[in-house]
Amino acid sequence: MVNLKTKSSFLRLYSWLPIIILFISVLNEFDFNYLNLEYFSFNFPYILIFYFTLKDFKHFDYFLVFIAGLVNDTVVGLPLGLSSFLYILICIATSYLRNITIRPHPIKDWFYFLFIISLINSISYSVLTLFFSYNIILIDYLINNFFTFLFYLVFVYLFKQYLRGLND
């Protein structure tokens, strides 16, 4: 009986894992930037949000994504609400893609992801420079965009394994 209860709570925790990882990543800036590799950075939350909202994962609540955005703004020091805005834009884009797609294809999703992150990074750059007078190097944004795009496939493979484990 106890064993069954433990198993059930573990399963519950496992099913909430993506949102937990999202919160850990925004609180901890999980992107290997501390390695100080020149020109290397990527945005893990974008990949996570894009994948799980595209899959319409039941435990990936939009409201929690919104809160994660607020947390990210606080940790990074961006104007409050900006990351939430960008994260919700990703959710809208994935929701739209889900609606118009009859037969999903990973490569199409991948390039759609590139389009979406380019769009939201452009919005982020424009808002920060035009409305909040931040000095930001554009090339850093482009590199971040590029590595986020590249790492998408790696993480998609890992997420697929996770979903397979959940279904089993």
Partner 1 sequence: MASSRDDFIIAIRSAFLKKSTQQKFSLLSLILTSAFIILLSSFEFKVIRYLKIGINEIVYRSSFVVSIPENFIKNTFFEVSEYTTFFNNYKKDKKELNQLKSNYVSSQIIQSENRELKELINDYVSSSDKILAKIIVDHESPFLKSIIINKGSKDNIKIGTNIYDQSYLVGRVTEVNYKTARVLLLSDLNSNVPVTIAPQNIQAIITGDGDNQGQIKYIKDGFSDEITQESIIYTSGTGAIFKSGIPIGRLSILQDNLTSKFNVEFYSDFTQLKYVFADVITKTEIQNFDNNDSELNDLDNTPMNAKLKILEDELKIIEDTNLKFKEENEILKSEINNLESEIIDFKNKIFLQKEKINQFDIDEKELNFLRLNLEYGHKCRKSFFNNKGFVVGTSEYKQCVLNKGRINNG
Residue choice 12, 56, 104, 161 for contact with partner 1 (CB under 8 A): 56
8 close to 50: Cβ distance less than 8 angstroms? no
Would the CA dihedral through 77, 82, 88, 93 be positive or negative? negative
Contact range with partner 1 by CB under 8 A, out of 4-12, 82-90, 148-156, 159-167: 82-90
Residue choice 78, 117, 120, 156 for contact with partner 1 (CB under 8 A): 78
Q: Which of 16, 73, 76 is nearest to 41 (CA)?
A: 76
Q: Please report whether residue 16 would count as binding partner 1 according to CB under 8 A.
A: no
Contact range with partner 1 by CB under 8 A, out of 7-15, 112-120, 139-147, 157-165: 139-147
Contact range with partner 1 by CB under 8 A, out of 7-15, 91-99, 110-118, 155-163: 91-99
The single-letter code of the amino acid at 83 is S
What's the CA gap between 59 and 17, in Å, rounded?
Answer: 9
Contact range with partner 1 by CB under 8 A, out of 2-10, 24-32, 106-114, 149-157: 24-32
Q: Please report whether residue 131 would count as binding partner 1 according to CB under 8 A.
A: yes
Interface residues with partner 1 (CB under 8 A) are 24, 27-29, 31, 33-34, 36, 38, 41, 56, 58-59, 61-63, 66, 69-71, 74-82, 84-85, 88-89, 91-93, 95-96, 99-100, 127, 131-132, 134-137, 140-141, 144
